[in-house]
Amino acid sequence: MTVEAHLSHGQLFSWREIERYPRGWGHEANLPATWDLRGLTPAQVEQALGRLVDRHETLRTTYEVRDGLPVQRVHAGVPLPVERVDRLVTDPTEHERVKMERVAIPFPMTGDLNWRALMVSSEGAPMYLSLTFSHLIVDVWSIHHLQDQFKALVAGRPAAEVELGSTPRELARRQAEASWQPVQAASERYWRGVFADGLMDRLPTLPARVERERLELTLTSRRLGGLAAQAGRTHGVTPPAVIMAFIAAGLARQLDTDRVTMSLMSSNRFAQEDQHNIGTMNQLIPFVTAVDRGATLGEHIRRLHWAAAKAYRYSCYDFDRVTAMAAAAGEDPGHDCWVNHLFRAWFNYVQVDRRPADPADRSPATLAWTPLAQSYGQAFRVRVEVGDGETRVLMLADPEVLPAEAMTDIMRTLALGVQLAVTDPGRSLKDLWNGHGGDLPPALFPRDLPARPSQPQ
């Protein structure tokens, strides 16, 4: 038996974003995971996977389009999409190569499951499981919960210990009920305020499926995350807020503006009942804020933190209703991609593990250009990945708006700002650019910069 239902707000947001990807970039919606299987039998692995599929309908969900609108189809049962290979595994890093190969294969948006797995065994003994999920069905939070449940299942722990949240189908039904209307009304009031404050017109947006050359610069530092955490404790904010505050400051300087629009990726799992949902719930939410160059670093960080905290309260919304509101408010993207238009500059912070970063770590920082940057979407995007005590800041930008020198300067602003937020938080924001960050230690910012990429012709 198959049940058809409307999409939840998180599912709809992912659908509207992914359907606008250019041809050849569908794999960008994929999320990888690798699970260690050593010590298990093939029967244990397959039984645990089967239990997960039975337990979570998102793993049994496909999508279709009805009358121009996407719908989800939840199936009573599905064959496990697991490929099995047996080979001699001698390279301890093989799973990383396999993960990258498999995550580069896109899923069709309709008609098929949006996850797959490869079980690799060596002489009959399972070694690892390489999984790929589409963002249409899960987010990173969900994948971590699935892995925890898989470990519990193969360890023989009872299902009674598992906390289950609402299914995507239940969320969609709840969000359509009258009891949800105050939440929807509050989010729509917030959006009207964003439209009134004005979006960032200095950042041009692209139509759907259109590509344009982008540059991507990555700063990697072990000290940066430790200092951000220390600054967060000092100023009563989170480490992501510290990093975002100085990204926003650098962007404002490069665009010569005193107001910026930052769009944040929200997990939408703030309510206790949503902590264990298995599905895709992430949505972007923008906020418009002043960047006062005369403010102290501490004041600037706190302003950005509280603006972001307010935005998170309204980050679960019906994307189609918001685009209709934007049109009614006079927002005209001039093209067919509201995702790009409404979220001009976005920031996402992903904490992969709980290992703390060391603010005194002396490991050299690195700065590197991506040879082939993603060539569509917003004109400015920053993704921060924190794991194993290391912080990676990936910045993507339209070189016609932010050339290589500007991107490098924003990264330098970030490194210097985070350092001064700990050592001298009473300094003015404008002081970040007085010395161009020349006194930064190599653990925060390299002294030898990589060669600039060639500019678009």
pLDDT tens profile 59-103:
999 999 999 999 999 999 999 999 999 999 989 999 999 999 999
Closest by Cα among 356, 343, 238, 230 to 301: 238
pLDDT of res. 438: 53
Integer Cα distance of 159 and 154 in angstroms? 11
**Greater pLDDT, 438 or 171:** 171
Integer Cα distance of 247 and 260 in angstroms? 11
* pLDDT at position 283 over 50: yes
* pLDDT at position 144 over 80: yes
Length of the chain: 457
pLDDT of res. 201: 75
Q: What is the largest CA-CA distance in the chain?
A: 67
Query: Which burial class, exposed, middle or buried, applies to 353 when counting CB atoms under 10 A from its CB (0-12, 13-18, 19+)?
Result: exposed
**For 111-129, what is the mean pLDDT?**
96
* pLDDT at position 2 over 50: yes
Write out the CATH class of domain 178-433: alpha beta
**For 112-141, what is the mean pLDDT?**
96
**pLDDT tens for residues 182-228?**
999 999 999 999 999 888 778 989 999 999 999 999 999 999 999 99
Q: Are 119 and 84 in contact (CB under 8 A)?
A: yes
**pLDDT tens for residues 32-52?**
999 999 999 999 999 999 999
Question: How many Cβ atoms from other residues are within 10 Å of residue 125's Cβ?
Answer: 14
pLDDT of res. 435: 59
Q: Are 340 and 375 in contact (CB under 8 A)?
A: no
Lookup: tokens for 408: 């490098």
Integer Cα distance of 158 and 51 in angstroms? 12
- Any idea where the domains of the chain sit in the sequence? 2-172, 178-433
Hey, what CATH topology would domain 2-172 get? Chloramphenicol Acetyltransferase (3.30.559)
Closest by Cα among 85, 132, 139, 140 to 113: 132
In sequence order, the β-bridge partners of residue 61 are 74
Same topology between domain 2-172 and domain 178-433: yes
Of the candidate ranges 126-130, 186-190, 320-324, 328-332, the one whose mean pLDDT is the lowest: 328-332
Residue 176 main-chain phi, psi, to 5 deg: -95, -5
Can you give the three-state secondary structure of the chain, one letter per residue? CEEEECCCHHHHHHHHHHCCCCCCCHHHHEEEEEEECCCCCHHHHHHHHHHHHHHCHHHHEEEEEECCEEEEEEECCCCCCEEEEECCCCCCCHHHHHHHHHHCCCCCCCCCCCEEEEEEEECCEEEEEEEEEECCCCCHHHHHHHHHHHHHHHCCCCHHHCCCCCCHHHHHHHHHCHHHHHHHHHHHHHHHHHHHHCCCCCCCCCCCCCCCCCEEEEEEEHHHHHHHHHHHHHHCCCHHHHHHHHHHHHHHHHHCCCEEEEEEEECCCCCHHHCCCCCCCCEEEEEEEECCCCCEHHHHHHHHHHHHHHHHCCCCCCHHHHHHHHHHCCCCCCCCCHHHHHCCEEEEEEECCCCCCCCCCCCCCEEEECCCCCCCCCCEEEEEEEECCEEEEEEEECCCCCCHHHHHHHHHHHHHHHHHHHHCCCCEHHHHHCCCCCCCCCCCCCCCCCCCCCCCC
Integer Cα distance of 302 and 227 in angstroms? 16
Handedness of CA 317, 318, 323, 327 (dihedral sign): negative
Placement of tokens 């359907």 in the chain: 19
Lookup: tokens for 415: 């490194």
Q: Are 46 and 144 in contact (CB under 8 A)?
A: no
Percent over 70 (pLDDT), the chain: 98
* pLDDT at position 450 over 80: yes
Per-residue pLDDT band for 455 (boundaries 50, 70, 90) equals low
The set of residues, in sequence order, having a beta carbon less than 8 Å from that of 442 and lying 6+ positions away, is 364, 365
> To the nearest whole number, what is the mean pLDDT of the chain?
94
* pLDDT at position 308 over 50: yes
**For 244-267, what is the mean pLDDT?**
95
pLDDT of res. 62: 98
Amino acid identity of residue 311, one-letter, is A
Amino acid identity of residue 305, one-letter, is H
Q: Are strands 345-351 and 380-387 parallel, antiparallel or unpaired?
A: parallel
**pLDDT tens for residues 336-386?**
999 999 999 999 998 888 889 999 999 999 999 999 899 999 999 999 999
Query: Which burial class, exposed, middle or buried, applies to 238 when counting CB atoms under 10 A from its CB (0-12, 13-18, 19+)?
Result: middle
Cα R_g (the chain), whole angstroms? 23
- CA geometry: angle 248, 31, 165, nearest 5 deg: 90
Amino acid identity of residue 91, one-letter, is D
pTM for the full predicted model: 0.93
